[in-house]
Amino acid sequence: MLIRSAIFALVICLPALPAFAQTAAKNQVVGTWRVVSATIDPGGRNIPAYGERPNGLLVFTADMHFIEVLTDASTPRFASDARGEGTDEENRRAMSGSIGFFGTYTVDEEGQFSGNHVQAATFPNWVGSTRTREQLTLVVNGDRMTEHFRRPEGTAIQIEFQRVK
């Protein structure tokens, strides 16, 4: 009887496996991406978003989680080696020149990025937020990806990534 139940379960589930594999295979953003450039456009000015040498990674996992860390590579080291003992100016510069956050993401039936939900962030106002294509788009072209993000007040940010191999 146990063998019949197992065979019945396999017969029922097997037709769904190719569809699952096909959906997973279409995910265009899955993988690790390194930032190449980042610009911000406040009031019509196009300036570096994370300094002249932006540094960072954006990782999308196959189980639909992501983590993004972006930094300004030219941010000077703190005078103190203790993370919690930076001066107001050191902390302000480090905070304004970097962002880190993680959460979950979705893709559509073509495997294109369709949104994310932020579970934690170094900028606490983002925690719990959900972004759709209206605020955030990711366009993959081969091993390049362009992120377009619009802040709530309207400022546009564009980040270019290269797939890490």
pLDDT confidence of residue 1: 52
The total of other beta-carbon atoms located within 10 Å of residue 113's CB is 22
Mean pLDDT of 100-128: 97
Both tokens of 103, joined, read: 């959460």
- The pLDDT tens digits for 84-109 are 999 999 999 999 999 999 999 999 99
Domain count, the chain: 1
Q: Which helix (H) or strand (E) holds 38?
A: strand 31-41
Q: Which helix (H) or strand (E) holds 49?
A: none
For the chain, what percentages of helix, strand and coil (3-state, to nearest 5) are there? 25, 45, 35
Q: Tell me the residue ranges of DSSP E strands in 47-122.
A: 47-48, 54-60, 65-72, 98-107, 113-121
CATH number reported for the structural domain that contains residue 99 in this entry: 2.40.128.50
Global pTM?
A: 0.81
Q: Indicate the average pLDDT of the chain.
A: 87
- The pLDDT tens digits for 47-95 are 999 999 999 999 999 999 999 999 999 999 999 999 899 999 999 999 9
Structural domain span for residue 113: 2-163
Query: Does residue 30 carry a pLDDT above 60?
Result: yes
